[in-house]
Structure 1
Amino acid sequence: MSQPIVQHFFDEPTNTFSYVVRDPDSQACAILDSVLDFDYAAGRTDVRSADAIIQYVRDNDLSVEWVLETHVHADHLSAAPYLHEQLGGKTGIGARITDVQEIFGKAFNAGAEFARDGSQFDRLFKEGDTFSIGGLEGRVLHTPGHTPACLTYVIGDAAFVGDTLFMPDYGTARCDFPGGDARTLFRSIQKVLALPEQTRIFLCHDYKAPGREEFHCMTTVAEQRKANVHVHEGVSEDEFVKMRTERDATLGMPRLILPSVQVNMRAGEMPPADDSGQVYLKVPVNLF
């Protein structure tokens, strides 16, 4: 398998890894799961995390072909529009984004002006779709369960799994958001674990399991099969569903879920400004 060059960027406030994935034989690259910095208390955004990616791209004279999302993130805002404006590239996400837009368009009373057809993105990917990064071929696995629209991008020997899996010592994604389902997640994970055992798995988040002092962004299929605390070989689907359902019932909501979903369901754009030109994010009371 081809081996893309992968550079990670870590946003510790949201425990998020973003990536630049490079074709080793050209200057072509893709950006995955970018972060728009957001001070929730002040309601203020910043682009320092995105600027670090831009600097890397320009320092290495790279050409951005894709700005991709593995899913509609609930823990950070996407910087995709800013990166798209600065660097070009087509935006992409899973085709089931329409389900997420329908669910959260209603939840946030987004109004008729909010399109629920995924048209905010340049490309809506389905299971089995392929795309190119220079001479690299990427292919798409639809891996729902955390959200209906979750994708895994398999690019050469690298798989970018979003929130589907974490480091083996931390486990798997929660499934209690609207549209999530633990049984569906288990089956999605089996798709990932069916990849060649040497496949590098790049994670969207790491939270440092107890006893571990460093953040990690990468594991392998072999390591996940052997040691993932939730879905190692031998764990049945029913056992996983029971564990995941009970665990999810103890979890609080992510700190940035309300602003994140409103922005990310719009491909990283803010809601429309009001008549005065001011942009507002909504906080539904007692809804979730």
Structure 2
Amino acid sequence: MNAPTAAAARADIASFFDRVTGTIAYVVADLAARQAAIIDPVLDFDMKSGRTSTTQAERLLAHLAAHDLQVQWILETHAHADHLSSAHWLKERVGGRIAIGEHITQVQTVFRKLYNLERGFLPDGRQFDHLFKDDEVFNIGGLEMRALRVPGHTPADIAYVIDDAVFVGDTLFMPDVGTARCDFPGGDAATLYRSIRRLLDMPPETRLFMCHDYPPAGREAAWETTVAEQRARNIHVHDGVDEAAFVALRTRRDATLDVPVLILPAIQVNIRAGQLPPPEDDGVSYLKIPLNVIGRKA
């Protein structure tokens, strides 16, 4: 990895934790240039009533307004299964380009078939403004950020690197929680292990920012750790755990996990870059729930 640059030290990172979904969204900014990127924003969704709301997204808007920030990018680390994205809603209000990894097309192809989506939905990534390639560099004001492909949880996972900070998406959790599941379509435990090694081979002091935290009883939610802490204490991939051992552990654990509560409503929105499905002839958008297609596990 390249040595940290002095310019990148100007990056300001603000975090926004949503207790309902365990998601952390971020605003990363060059305060001097008043330019910002939003990472993994949440659209509130009540499963019982089918209603969406924008409480979490409005927290981001308030921060942007308080610091007079212009949004250049709205970045997704992957097509989330545990929350709906507010990327489209935010773009309509503050602009910015919605971006994700280029392998989102693989995810779209799988879920287009699962949901039997409308003929006009094409699994080519056009729903997003930009599809990142591995190691692609882009800018937030005067800061350089890099997209790092880290598949395994899904084929499309991307981490975002800026100086000594990495937004890791669903590759790693806090050390006492471990790592992401790999039993979604296109997921693979061996691939995730190699992706995690890309992260843990970075300098020990590198800061890692989680996308989610599901804290054990007795611990408050947390979302920042370091490479050194992960290598020493991660319950799944600490130093000394080789690929075979990780794959065996991850496979056993995934076999015990329930399907995420929001996976069926979330994915069909998130593969559209946060847009709801097109309204039908009554003017209402409908989310589809395929019956008897997936089992207890995702």
Give the aligned CA root-mean-square deviation in angstroms.
0.9
CA distance in 1, matches of 2:125, 2:108: 8
Matched residue type, 1:285: L
Post-superposition CA distance 1:7-41 (Å, at most 9, x none): 00011010000000012432111000000000011
Say which of 60, 70, 74 aligns to 1:63.
Answer: 70
Counterparts of 1:92-103 in structure 2 under 5 Å?
A: 92-103=99-110
Post-superposition CA distance 1:34-58 (Å, at most 9, x none): 0000001100000011001001100
Q: CA deviation at 1:209?
A: 2.3
The residue that corresponds to 2:284 in the other structure is 278
CA distance in 2, matches of 1:72, 1:253: 15
Which TM-score applies when normalising by structure 1? 0.98
SS in 2 for 1:121: coil
Residue 144 of structure 1 pairs with residue 151 of structure 2: yes
Post-superposition CA distance 1:141-163 (Å, at most 9, x none): 10000000000100111100111
CA distance in 2, matches of 1:76, 1:254: 10
CA distance in 2, matches of 1:187, 1:101: 24
Given that 2:36 and 2:141 are in contact with CA atoms closer than 8 Å, whether structure 1 keeps it comes out as yes
Say which of 196, 217, 229 aligns to 1:189.
Answer: 196
Matched residue type, 1:263: V
Identity %: 55
Report the count of equivalent residues. 287
Given that 2:31 and 2:69 are in contact with CA atoms closer than 8 Å, whether structure 1 keeps it comes out as no
Counterparts of 1:1-288 in structure 2 under 5 Å?
A: 1=4, 2-3=8-9, 4-210=11-217, 212-288=218-294
CA distance in 1, matches of 2:211, 2:72: 20
Given that 2:97 and 2:129 are in contact with CA atoms closer than 8 Å, whether structure 1 keeps it comes out as yes
Q: CA deviation at 1:85?
A: 1.0
Any gaps of 5 or more consecutive residues in structure 1?
Answer: none
CA distance in 1, matches of 2:204, 2:37: 24
Q: CA deviation at 1:198?
A: 1.1
SS in 2 for 1:180: coil
SS in 2 for 1:184: helix
Q: CA deviation at 1:111?
A: 2.8
Matched residue type, 2:230: Q
Matched residue type, 1:239: A
Matched residue type, 1:86: R
